[in-house]
Amino acid sequence: MSLETIRLSQQAKDQLSRLKRTTGIKNWNILCRWALAMSLQDPSTPLVKDVPTDSNVEMDWKTFAGSQGDIYLALLKHRCQQDGAEPTDEAVSHTLRVHLQRGVGYLAGRKDLRSIQDLVSEASV
């Protein structure tokens, strides 16, 4: 799998659907960016090793990353190196999938997230 198309697991789709309702954030890609950032800031390696891509939610890299695509790509490559992997296309794609899955779980587990402001407040801590 390459970074060209990012497909979510059914579990992540369900969690993001709930987050969309509670926060009022309408776009998958915005929530996914927050999820990725939350997971990448955790220095531990995600426990998830294989993420199913069994939902009908998918987006291309440009939609996911927007105008900050180079920054997200650099962050993913850096994380690969931190985790002891060569930042090949396959490794970067895998890193994105596992961190996205973990990050969505982090967001979904936060019962205090009710708005965009709650996300911004969390980021400033």
Predicted local confidence at residue 2, as pLDDT: 59
> Which residues does the chain have with pLDDT short of 70?
1-2, 122-125
Which pLDDT value is given to residue 125? 54
CB 103 within 8 A of CB 95: no
Q: State the CB neighbour count (10 A cutoff) for residue 10.
A: 13
Report the C-alpha gap between 122 and 125 in whole angstroms: 6
Alpha-carbon 97 to chain mean position? 7
Domains of the chain (ranges plus CATH)?
A: 5-123 (1.10.1220.160)
Chain centroid, CA 73 distance in Å: 12
pLDDT at residue 1, as a whole number: 43
- Contact in structure between 76 and 95 (CB atoms under 8 Å): yes
